[in-house]
Amino acid sequence: MYPAKRKKEKMVRDYRKIIGETIRKCRLAAHMSQMALAEKIGISYQQLQKYEKGINNISVYRLQQICESLNIPLSAFFGGREAEKIAEDSSKYGIHKEEKTLLDLFRRIENRDIRRGLLIEMKGIVKELKKI
């Protein structure tokens, strides 16, 4: 195989992986399962999984469907860090800044007992607030 052809094939694989990773990041930011997104766009979750892993090529039409389902612009796949910004800007997907901060802080706690204790306390607070 010619070196130029090998280089081109590697570049195509790399782009497939980048697009797949972007789909996954945005799907997770939208709190959507593979199954839910796949159903929305009319494919199997296995096919979506192949897109996310960069195994299969994805058509522009399918990519547009994914963008519409995740409420992201098509340019997110071609703008470098724009996809990361979209995934991080989770307020569009129903997570407020305070919720994101709480989640980030919670994830920094390494001690499982402390994490469990916090969850129990929060459940208790919510339970008491429902009584009011």
Predicted pLDDT at 105: 82
What average pLDDT score do residues 65-70 get?
91
> What's domain 3-90's superfamily in CATH?
lambda repressor-like DNA-binding domains (1.10.260.40)
Domain ranges of the chain: 3-90, 96-132
For residue 90, what are the contacts with CB-CB under 8 A and spacing of at least 6? 29, 100
CA 77, 83, 86, 87 torsion: positive or negative?
A: positive
Q: Above 90 in pLDDT, residue 53?
A: yes
Q: Above 70 in pLDDT, residue 92?
A: no
Predicted pLDDT at 91: 47
Q: Can you tell me the distance from the alpha carbon of 79 to that of 28, in angstroms, rounded to the nearest whole number?
A: 19
Higher local confidence (pLDDT), 35 or 99:
35
Q: Can you tell me the distance from the alpha carbon of 26 to that of 61, in angstroms, rounded to the nearest whole number?
A: 18
Q: Which two tokens stand for residue 43?
A: 């494919």
Predicted pLDDT at 30: 85
